[in-house]
């Protein structure tokens, strides 16, 4: 049952247990609410490393964050892990934020996670992988926490199936909606996906876009930015993981090593 909701991942439904077991929740401490609040998504790319968006981190220290894995409902109950190291991509520009590109960061966990049916590592693509236009892929997250205040309980993980859009077409859509039509808005290290009513919103920033090849789920995108949630012509914009796979592998060897 697809519905257009005013908040959150649009055109979405609750996720059955164990379907996206690499999904992570990035937390920051809220003094008012006295809890580690969900601020962004992420994905487990290794037993001890989480992939997310650099704009989720900003200039904060590792100690400002916790990570939760293996959860379908936020806070139910939490078993948070500390982050010992944050590696934002060196080309990420804090002033330009996500739209400047290189919106990617790695978080090292204090200890390796224990794999289970609900906690698994997602496959990364080879750098040469071409993601074809119109391929249907899936974006997951707990919905928009920033635009509309905190997500209402029970904070259940959401999923939406979205078609990949080519960069040139996507760039034209964004140029048409912007005053600055000459500029390349969608850079080569970005990937677009989503169509009317199915798109990711900001609270899902840092979370994974995955596609299936030969029965393997491969993470091709990191939720980065998008002007309007579920806007008819404007797809969501993701960091293109293939552009950064060799950078990721400088820190993260093959799964489990």
pLDDT, tens digit, for every residue of 176-187? 887 777 789 999
Compute the average pLDDT of residues 146-161.
Answer: 70
How far apart (Å, rounded) are the C-alpha atoms in residues 21 and 15?
Answer: 11
Beta bridge partners of 10: 199
Q: For residues 72 and 51, give the distance between their C-alpha atoms in angstroms, rounded to a whole number.
A: 18
Is 14 a residue whose pLDDT tops 90? no
Query: Within a 13 Å sphere around the CA of 138, how many CA atoms are in the beta-carbon half?
Result: 19
Model confidence at 15, in pLDDT bands (50, 70, 90)? confident
| Tens of pLDDT, residues 116-134 | 999 999 999 999 999 999 9
Per-residue model confidence as pLDDT tens digits over 85-106: 999 999 999 999 999 999 999 9
Say whether 91 is catalytic. Answer: no
- 103 among known catalytic residues: yes
- Residue 251 CA to residue 12 CA, distance in Å, equals 34
**By percentage, how much of the chain surpasses pLDDT 70?**
83
Choose the catalytic residue: 25, 46, 89, 103.
Answer: 103
Which candidate in 46, 55, 89, 155 is catalytic? 55
Residue 202 binned pLDDT confidence (cut-offs 50, 70, 90): very low
Burial 33-54 (b: 16+ CB within 10 A, else e): eeebbbbbbbbbbbbbbbbbbb
What pTM, to 2 d.p., does this model score? 0.90
Active site residue 205: yes
Residues 6 or more apart whose Cβ sits within 8 Å of residue 158: 8, 9, 12, 13, 14, 15, 140, 141, 142, 143
- Annotated active-site residue in 200, 205, 224, 243: 205
């Amino acid at each position: 049952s697809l519905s257009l909701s005013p908040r959150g991942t649009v055109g979405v439904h609750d996720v059955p247990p164990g379907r996206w077991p690499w999904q992570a929740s990035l937390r920051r401490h809220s003094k008012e609410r006295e809890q580690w609040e969900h601020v962004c998504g992420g994905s487990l790319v290794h037993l001890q490393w989480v992939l997310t968006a650099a704009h989720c981190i900003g200039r904060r220290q590792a100690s400002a964050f916790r990570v939760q894995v293996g959860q379908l409902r936020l806070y139910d109950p939490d078993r948070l892990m500390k982050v010992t190291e944050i590696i934002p991509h060196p080309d990420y520009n804090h002033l330009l934020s996500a739209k400047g590109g290189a919106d990617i960061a790695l978080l090292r966990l204090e200890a390796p996670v224990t794999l289970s049916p609900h906690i698994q590592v997602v496959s990364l693509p080879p750098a040469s992988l071409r993601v074809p236009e119109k391929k249907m892929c899936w974006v997951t997250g707990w919905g928009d926490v920033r635009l509309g205040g905190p997500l209402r309980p029970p904070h259940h993980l959401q999923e939406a199936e979205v078609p990949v859009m080519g960069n040139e077409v996507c760039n034209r859509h964004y140029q048409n909606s912007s005053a600055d039509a000459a500029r390349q808005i969608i850079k080569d290290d970005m990937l677009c996906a989503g169509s009317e009513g199915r798109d990711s919103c900001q609270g899902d920033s840092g979370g994974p876009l995955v596609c299936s090849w030969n029965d393997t789920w491969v993470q091709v995108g990191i939720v980065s930015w998008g002007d309007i949630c579920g806007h008819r012509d404007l797809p969501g914009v993701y960091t293109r993981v293939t552009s950064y796979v060799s950078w990721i592998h400088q820190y993260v060897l093959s799964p489990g090593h």
